[in-house]
Amino acid sequence: MISRRYFYPFLNLYTCFWTVIFSFGTVACQSSSHEQQSHQTTKSISFPEQVHAEYAKGFRITYHKNYKLLEVLNPFQNQADTLRYALIPRDLIGNVNVRDARPIPIPIQSMIATSTTHVGVAEMLNASDIIKGMVGAKYVYNSNIRQKLDQGEIASFPMGAFNKEEALNMQPDLLMISGGQASQFDNYKILIDAGINVLVNSEWLETTPLGKAEWVKVLGALLNREKLANQKFSAVAKRYKKLKSSVNDIQQKPLVITNMPYKGAWFVPGGGSYNATILRDAGADYPWSESKDTGGMRKDFEVVYRIGLKADVWINPGDAKTKEDLLAKDSRFKDFKPFKTGEIYNNNRRMSPSGGNDFWESGVVHPERILADLIKIFHPDVIPDHQFYYYRKVK
């Protein structure tokens, strides 16, 4: 039994109430569940290839007779109600009952993706054909998906409030959402009640690059492609660790600033965040490495400005492509040392005409490519042959 943490003590009372009600229900249903078990013994499925989370903290997959149990441990930031999904082979659905878990028929054949990161994950498992609906079509980079969107083979959902009617009409096997869209959870709750399987993909809450990429295993389990997911991910992890160790002993670390201010506030990644981790792994000196924050931190413009004056490198300056773009935003940027030395890099090398950025798509499952780019920026001598994949110099 998975323990559930609630925010309000009296919610526990509420849970107790339902537990009592349900236990009466269970007693009443016991005779019928015996029948089901005998029925199940006639057909039993085991899963030879399995995936397990090594780096990711947000999910857990366990394998049982006739079903896989997927638990999403941190669907939304600090709130901690574990979501449980029972992945049940398609022909056994209805015969296998798992308590407190939402049954999902596997392998899933159709899915609505609500973020381009979901495209990146599907593409890695050669499964982009299961995407039948897409939210935010203009931000997609993958040309295959873009073409299908243009031809109407994939339904395009507008941004903003999620269109529940279209989703219900489509009846997909899975609606994949990101935990960050919690404000819309009521919308999704209605869809869940109406029989749509909504999976919270909270990969964005992982604080390590490999943890984030490991979410490919979740889709692997949903597609019965565990073998492929393991292969692909371990190749990524191996390369990532090799690259990381190649800059481990370097003492000379360049001072780096990131991002771009907005209306006087400069959001920088907290020291415990994904972004800070990958900067550290690439051998950079990140000014806020010490902070424990796992999200973004608001800094006043002048706080970062002071560091910018002496920093060696500036990465990810908003959507800027040229130095003129930067000056158009704020002429004070010309005082920055990276501006004078030209050491400004942005992650927008691979962009679709409508504004989709592959960094946010395939970059999620390919942190080793991002790391290689960053090492090339911070320590060009370490991997001289590497060609930039996501990054470009802002000239």
Partner 1 sequence: MNERSQKQISSEKKIGIRSLYLGLLLGGLLVFFLLNLMLGSVDIPFKEIITILSGGKTNHFAWQKIIINIRIPRALTAILAGSALSVGGLQMQTFFRNPLAGPSVLGITSGASLGVAIVMLAAGTITSIFAIQQLSALGSWIIIGAASLGSAAVLLLILLISLKVRDNVTLLIIGLMIGNITIAMVSIWQYFSQPEQIRDYLIWTFGSLGGVPLNRLWILAIVVLVGGIIAIGMSKSLNGLLLGENYARSMGISVSSSRIWIIVSTSLLAGSVTAFCGPIGFVGIAVPHLTRSLLGTNDHRVLIPGTFLMGAILMLACDIVAQVPGSSTTLPISAITSLVGSPVVIWVIIKRKNLQASFS
Residues forming contacts to partner 1 in the complex (CB under 8 A) are: 6-8, 10-11, 14, 76-79, 81, 155-158, 160-161, 163-166, 168-171, 179-180, 182-187, 189-191, 193-195, 267, 295-296, 298
3-state helix, strand, coil split of the chain in percent (to 5) is: 45, 20, 40
Q: Is 84 exposed, middle or buried (0-12, 13-18, 19+ CB in 10 A)?
A: middle
Minimum separation from the CB atom of position 298 to partner 1 (A): 7
- Closer to partner 1 by Cβ: residue 76 or 336: 76
- Closer to partner 1 by Cβ: residue 15 or 231: 15
- Closer to partner 1 by Cβ: residue 80 or 255: 80
- Closer to partner 1 by Cβ: residue 136 or 228: 136
Minimum separation from the CB atom of position 93 to partner 1 (A): 16
Minimum separation from the CB atom of position 295 to partner 1 (A): 5
Asked whether 262 and 243 are in contact (CB, 8 A), the reply is no
Minimum separation from the CB atom of position 14 to partner 1 (A): 5
Question: What kind and span of H or E run contains 237?
Answer: helix 226-246
What's CA 63's distance to the chain center, in Å?
A: 23
Minimum separation from the CB atom of position 276 to partner 1 (A): 15
- Strand 111-113 relative to strand 131-135, pairing: parallel
Minimum separation from the CB atom of position 41 to partner 1 (A): 32
Asked whether 49 and 38 are in contact (CB, 8 A), the reply is no
- Closer to partner 1 by Cβ: residue 264 or 384: 264
- Closer to partner 1 by Cβ: residue 296 or 318: 296
For the chain, the straight-line distance linking the first and the last C-alpha, in angstroms and rounded, comes to: 57
Asked whether 229 and 216 are in contact (CB, 8 A), the reply is yes
Residue 247 CA to residue 378 CA, distance in Å, equals 10
